[in-house]
Amino acid sequence: MFESLQALPEDPILGLMAAFRADTASRKIDLGVGVYKDEHGKTPVLAAVRAAEQAVLADQQTKTYVGPAGNEQFNALMTELILGNKHTALTSRRVRAVQAPGGCGALRLGAELLIATGSRPTVHVSDPTWANHVPLLSNAGLKLEPYPYFDARTGTVRFDAMLERLNALPAGDVVLLHGCCHNPTGADLSLDQWRKVADVVLARRLIPYVDIAYQGLGEGIEADAEGARLIAATVPEALVAVSCSKNFGLYRERVGLLMVLTETETQATASASHLRKIARGIYSMPPDHGAAIVARILSDAKLNADWRNELDAMRNRMLKLRHTFAAALSKTCNAEVGNAIDKQRGMFSMLPLKPEAVDTLREQNHIYMTRDGRINIAGISLESIDYLAEAVGSVFGR
């Protein structure tokens, strides 16, 4: 049976990881993998996470199943973290949430729920978007189409072109929106732009699907959720996929959440029943450990405060790196490139480099990034900025 299978090409990012590990150069920089790193290149366990984990293990009396919907305390607390505890969608009981295996699992659950409606809508994703959006959604059977989003020359959002495209979409289609810290570009919508998008989505009767994977790493916990909150307050129906990998540092624990907003409480209850059935048919039940840690942090005043302080420190470190790197690029490339990097937010930005220039950086300077020029800002160190900026300047414009 399996002799007909041919080896597939390596995933670009996973292949980049392997190449970086195999590189024996004494000076090398990994800007490819999307994880937070400290000044020493390590991805630490947050102190609040470590304390919560110890408390969870001390209190845990069983390892029995948690059920297809997962940890209900986690679901409730994360829903409040995203929407705020007094959001109209919550007070009207039109929101339901299920735990999922990471943000990826949440995105796939949402795709399967769209299929379950029988409508098979087209999903419109930003150009560019996170690479894994495509297989996660299309492998469920959904058709994907791009909408204009990023101007690589200026490093800004092509908002007029984006709005024009959304205004032309048929009712019932789905629009995937990055809640904050756009991956891969770092170019986010302003709150005023979110309002205009929400108005168009409502008028055109589109379904917004918000993917929020970096809450707290852009402008702050509350500010980063404003777009999702505005959408949920404006439209009758929406999906929101959430990841706890980055802001809690729980990458390998696979902690995610899918929220569904419907027009009525009855529809919300029906949707949740379908989500539980879908989850049961794919992976049965989500892993509990990471969700229990998040629930402990969010329900404990001291742990919650400690986590928020650590998250602030992570965000401020990346902002400092971004500002310093932008200033260096203004000298080695040009001011336009530097200004764009400086204004963007989150873990990622895209350097305006051709694939061949990226290859040169890897081969000659041992600097690793994806061939579209996406870089992980957290992969930079203050010590490496001048070297990195000079190397980028040497291939800029080629």
Residue 33, pLDDT score: 84
Neighbours of 18 (CB within 10 A): 11
Q: Of 3, 1, 34, which Cα lies nearest the Cα of 16? A: 34
Q: Please say if 130 is a catalytic residue.
A: yes
User: Which tens digits make up the pLDDT trace of 126-161?
Assistant: 999 999 999 999 999 999 999 999 999 899 999 999
Q: How confident is the model at residue 240 (pLDDT cuts 50, 70, 90)?
A: very high
Q: Which of 48, 89, 100, 213 is catalytic?
A: 213
Q: Which of 198, 224, 241, 246 is catalytic?
A: 246
* CA 227/CA 194 separation, integer angstroms: 6
* CA 270/CA 376 separation, integer angstroms: 40
**Beta-strand pair 348-350/143-148:** unpaired
Residue keyed to tokens 């650590």:
310
Neighbours of 4 (CB within 10 A): 5
User: Which tens digits make up the pLDDT trace of 97-137?
Assistant: 999 999 999 999 999 999 999 998 999 999 999 999 999 99
**Beta-strand pair 150-151/156-157:** antiparallel
Q: Please say if 335 is a catalytic residue.
A: no
Residue 242, pLDDT score: 98
Q: Which of 130, 188, 232, 378 is catalytic?
A: 130
Instruction: Tell me the percentage of the chain whose pLDDT exceeds 70.
Output: 100
* CA 97/CA 328 separation, integer angstroms: 44
**Beta-strand pair 174-178/122-127:** parallel
Q: Please say if 211 is a catalytic residue.
A: yes
Q: Which of 188, 211, 224, 288 is catalytic?
A: 211
- Dihedral in degrees, nearest 10, Cα atoms 155, 159, 165, 170: 120
Instruction: Provide the greatest CA pair distance for the chain.
Output: 61
Residue 13 has pLDDT above 90, yes or no: no
Residue 398 has pLDDT above 70, yes or no: no
Q: For the whole model, what pTM was predicted? A: 0.94
Residue 387: partners with Cβ closer than 8 Å, 6 or more residues away: 27, 29, 365
